[in-house]
Amino acid sequence: MSAHSLDQGRILVTGGAGFIGSAVIWALNQRGLENILVSDLLGSDEKWRNLVPLKFADYIEATDLAALIEKNDATVAGVKTVIHLGACSSTTERNAEYLVRNNYEWTKKLAHWSVGNARRFVYASSAATYGDGNEGMEDRDDQLSKLRPLNMYGYSKHLFDLYAKREGLLPKIVGLKYFNVFGPNEWHKGEMRSLVNKAYDQILATGSLQLFKSHHPDYPDGGQKRDFLYVKDAVAMTLHLAETSSASGLFNLGSGEADTWLTLAQSLFAALERPSQIAYIDIPENIRTNYQYFTLANISKLRDSGYVAPITPLSAAVADYALNYLNPHRHLGD
């Protein structure tokens, strides 16, 4: 496999204060890399705290980045690698215009700038593009037109995947279809936090945990399945694809295993050395019709690209997260 060196030139990480973005910067720091330009929209939430322990060369608000890109300002002129993770990732966001501008139009602009200037471009697509999974969850470029996302967030990501294929960009860039990623640095995500994060507080406060009932005859309560991926594995996969210049197109990033919500919950109870006490509640009406009952990443394409690292088992990942980051409350790099 041909290599793209991450230590030659600056690395631009958009969404760098966010969950996966800050974890990418942490992983780069673990390699001794600090020539990183971080871009994000810090707003008024607490995600700025994710940046505090990290080392990087410069920070710029995402609203100012487009102008610097257009004039190839010195701030971005030395960039050799772009890891584009900046996006609105809320699956319940209803403002379609905002999602198109933020997730689709900006990605187009950044991709063309990167390819036109021989920068390595890696961007976040999403497993949400697969919808209910009836058309499979294969990261094959020739299957794109068959996919039917269930929410506007997934569609905004799907729009760019389709555009990149249509415009001949996919053979020159890498798109990452993250599945259910969880782990440190997600506190700022509110209701979009992982179940592990939300359940931790619930269990400490009440001794029990609420899970959604199933409204599908093929799945028992708590038996809905997801491909859960620890964020440390997600960023290792991301950096592997960023530095493997022969890799291109779309890649599923998951564990390759489908575990139930019940298994996830029981792993957390076990990590906390507490008896498993679970109550089931109805899925809210506003998300019930778009609820995914099963996700599973086929990661053979990732493996074929040369990624050989073992993937952290779910129980071990939950224990590491709960015991080393949720208690005490720590960020990556602390």
Q: Is 3 helix (H, G, I), strand (E, B) or coil?
A: strand
Sign of the CA dihedral running 249, 311, 223, 213: negative
CA 64 to chain centre: 24
The catalytic position among 153, 178, 200, 325 is 153
Chain centroid to Cα 39, Å, comes to: 16
301 has catalytic annotation: no
Q: Among 80, 157, 177, 189, which one carries the catalytic annotation?
A: 189
- 244 phi/psi in degrees, rounded to 5: -100, 90
Cβ neighbours for 110, distance < 8 A, ≥ 6 positions apart: 14, 69, 82, 84, 121, 123
Catalytic, 189? Answer: yes
The number of beta carbons lying within 10 Å of the beta carbon of residue 152 is 22
d(CA 277, CA 206): 10
CA distance 3 to 81: 13
Catalytic residues, by residue number, are 153, 189
